[in-house]
Structure 1
Amino acid sequence: MLLSQLPDDVLYCILSYLDYKSLSRLSQVCRSIYHFVNRDAVWRNIAKEFLNTGITRNGTDIYPHIPLKERVKIAQNWYDGVCRKAIPLKWKLKLLPWLQLDGDVLFLSQAADIGAYRLRQDYGRILCRPFEIYSGHSGDVCRFVLTDAHLISSGSNGKILVHSRRKDMSMELRGPNQEVNCLDSKNGLIISGSRDEQQRSVYSAPRGTISMYDRVWSVAISPTVSSFVTGTACCENFSPLHIWDVERLECVCSLGTEFRRGAGVLDMVFESPFQLLTCGYDTFIRLWDLRLSPRKCAMEWEEPHDSALYCIQTDGNYMIASGSSYYGVVRLWDKRQAKCLQFFQLSSEMVSSPVYCLRFCSSHLFAALATTLHSLDFRHSPIPIR
């Protein structure tokens, strides 16, 4: 009996013992084997072990439209740090830009406006002019988030605006009198944090205000929408991290007690309802396991050059990307390793800028600096210099 004549379940069992290189070689044997080996079911277990393949630890596939074999190939470039660098957009004034990525559309805030830029089908380039602009702030946009139907933004003038992504409509929510630093929204719930030592919590209308007695730098709503986490400047409190109940607006607990003064948390992201990643001025990325009692830091990674970490993103599995405060340094981390996996310096020593925000998909990473937007393309090896 030929290999191609074996039942599918037997073939799947045999191929499960092969690594990605052996599978790639096997696919070159004949046409029938090629088509079988290219099935996502063959590559699924292998893809779970690679960085940024879109397979989360609970088995969810973030990019089901991209063949897993292709994603594993690109993931090897992420691990090796092989990419092509480009600067799709530049602007003259120094800003504090923010990014969101939704499919083939990149949203970028510049001063008081948020532009929606169409990415080319192959993500090779960004069209230089936005096809839509969201405006309405008299001051700079500090943060914005995307939902299926809305773009919600906060600004330095204290406004919170809800823009419709389907119609030319916007609505203003009354916010604090000073700059709104941070924002998150899920299922109609909007949480914002401001510099006037208050945090505002609203559903469709103002629901309540919590006095924090400290500046709020970051907020994140749990995937269950039953609680949210705040990160403060850690100037008045022993811990900058607090978990709050959504319904009662009461503090459930604090995370950690050994933070030094000024160790503010600048960014945070939920990986799951019980896993939270944080970063900030104390140069550490921390993974908090909210199932433990008391809730403790499960793992931590230190920025090797003692730089504050402005932003983080995760693939939901093993990879973390972080943006540093000096020289536009983006670092890639593998959770299974203590040390940094790869780093990319995007700004020169003469013109140093923090990485204010970064976003990535399966093949590209976008980083926003003070005057430039950078893109890293991990699909191909760099063009050799002749």
Structure 2
Amino acid sequence: MGRKGSLRPPQAEGGCGAARPSLLWALPEELLLLICSYLDAQALGRLGQVCRRLRAFSGRDLLWRRIARGCLNSGFTQLGADLAAGIPVKERVKVSQNWRHGRCRRETLLKWKRNLMPWMHLDGDYLYLSQAEDIRAYRFRPDSAGLQHRPQAVFSGHQEDVCRFVLAGSHIVSGGGDGNIVLSKVHGSFSIKFSAHQQEVNCVDCQGGIIVSGSRDRTAKVWSLSFGRAGHCLHTVQTEDRVWSIAISPLLSSFVTGTACCGHTSPLRIWDLESGQLVTCLGTDFHRGAGVLDIVYETPFTLLSCGYDTYIRSWDLRVSTRKCVMEWEEPHDSALYCVRSDGNHMIASGSAYYGVVRLWDKRQSRCLQSFSLSSPTSSPVYCLRFNTTHLYAALASALHALDFTAP
């Protein structure tokens, strides 16, 4: 038997098959973990091939966590948060290699007869997808990327197409081409609709009991979601330009608008959430027409933007508001409709032509992988979402999935 605090010799469990106790197993477990922490993924994998006990020991999340944080889309953010705690870290590192090398299986999950501009969100076992005036909740099939054919719920209320929507706790907040905002209860039939803008509501976001919306009518508005005041307008911001995208800071102190850039003002502007006053503009060298179509906060101080000028830009508010800290150019000079981040090293973008989805490693300047989902016909990627194993892309007439667990 090993001493207290150490692992037992392998032959006690029919382990490595040695004729006598291995000195390796005589070491305290803490020291073994320290030694193994210096190994890379390949060395850890080979160590796990020695015997059953080493396979179990070398597969611990603690040993793979450091490696995973340097991988693409392994579920760890820049700040160290684990977004996929239910999946073993070693398995995530394996799947990460498929993301890096573009190894995946493609599948068309849904099709519809007329061209739309769909938007979607992932939430656990459900995928929420806007289709014309409705938002439909589809449940994933067990152990599969596929969806059940019939939606579990349908959320209605708009008279024209839904432009954007967000999930906010127990509510879905949507903006439509009818100028209205609709609040729908996720589990129930209760909903509230109120007139928000004179023209279509192109974008909405909701956090901390506050809704922000942007419209073609050249205004952004701040709304209350608190009980008894839902739909009460707190501020109206005159943006002097059509608002295409909007996002609330995770600090709940400000929000950023992305506009059409038809004038001489920067299309990216940050506004104080409490007063509605302009805080700052991001960037100084945008060309006319370089409208911003999507904005994503990665941390309270960093965000990504993309749009008509074919660039993805990364902004760090602690460094500078005049210049982005990094930018990536779409190689085929195509507008970028949407962008998402794993919160660490990977970015995914959707282009305006032929349903092109691109994967980027923020540590490199060139595109990492590219997938054309609508060839030979052409369609923008209106929205994309991904988790550690699958990527979903909504095009004009179909919803596509890329499964990186089964190349």
**Do Structure 1 and Structure 2 share a fold, with TM-score over 0.5?**
yes
CA distance in 2, matches of 1:232, 1:84: 36
Runs of 4+ displaced beyond 3 Å: none
Asked if residue 328 in structure 1 is aligned to residue 346 in structure 2, the reply is no
CA distance in 1, matches of 2:322, 2:47: 47
Partner of 1:353: 379
**Percent identity over paired residues:** 57
Asked if residue 283 in structure 1 is aligned to residue 310 in structure 2, the reply is yes
How far has the Cα of 1:295 moved from its partner? Answer: 4.6
CA distance in 1, matches of 2:210, 2:25: 54
How far has the Cα of 1:197 moved from its partner? Answer: 1.0
How far has the Cα of 1:124 moved from its partner? Answer: 3.1
Alignment of 1:63-142 (within 5 A): 63-142=84-163
User: Residue 30 of structure 1 is aligned with which of 43, 51, 73?
Assistant: 51
Partner of 1:384: none
CA distance in 1, matches of 2:26, 2:255: 54
Query: Secondary structure of 1:234's match?
Result: coil
2:111 alignment partner AA: K
Change (3 A) 1:59 1:274: same
Q: Do the aligned partners of 2:258 and 2:267 also contact (CA within 8 Å) in 1?
A: yes
What is the TM-score when the length of structure 1 is the normalising length?
A: 0.97
How far has the Cα of 1:238 moved from its partner? Answer: 2.9
1:201 alignment partner AA: V
1:70 alignment partner AA: E
User: Residue 2 of structure 1 is aligned with which of 18, 23, 37?
Assistant: 23
Deviates more, 1:230-239 or 1:264-273: 230-239
Asked if residue 233 in structure 1 is aligned to residue 260 in structure 2, the reply is yes
CA distance in 2, matches of 1:112, 1:256: 36
Q: Do the aligned partners of 2:197 and 2:217 also contact (CA within 8 Å) in 1?
A: yes
1:112 alignment partner AA: E
Partner of 1:189: 210
Deviations 1:225-257 (A, max 9, x none): 101000000002331000001111000010111
How far has the Cα of 1:213 moved from its partner? Answer: 1.0
Deviations 1:140-189 (A, max 9, x none): 00000002211111100011011111222101133012100001111111
Query: Secondary structure of 2:325's match?
Result: strand
Partner of 2:390: 364
CA distance in 2, matches of 1:295, 1:256: 4
Q: Do the aligned partners of 2:281 and 2:321 also contact (CA within 8 Å) in 1?
A: no
Computing the radius of gyration from Cα coordinates, the structure with the larger value is 2
CA distance in 2, matches of 1:247, 1:238: 23
2:83 alignment partner AA: I
Q: Do the aligned partners of 2:172 and 2:184 also contact (CA within 8 Å) in 1?
A: yes
What is the TM-score when the length of structure 2 is the normalising length?
A: 0.92
1:355 alignment partner AA: V
CA distance in 2, matches of 1:359, 1:197: 28
Query: Secondary structure of 1:69's match?
Result: helix
How far has the Cα of 1:293 moved from its partner? Answer: 4.4
The CA RMSD over aligned residues, in Å, is: 1.1
Q: Which sections of structure 1, spanning at least 5 residues, go unmatched? A: 382-386
How far has the Cα of 1:292 moved from its partner? Answer: 2.1
Query: Secondary structure of 1:296's match?
Result: coil
2:137 alignment partner AA: A
Partner of 1:164: 185
2:383 alignment partner AA: C
Q: Which sections of structure 2, spanning at least 5 residues, go unmatched? A: 1-21, 226-231
Number of aligned residue pairs: give it: 380
Deviations 1:193-250 (A, max 9, x none): 0001111111222112111110000001000010100000000233100000111100
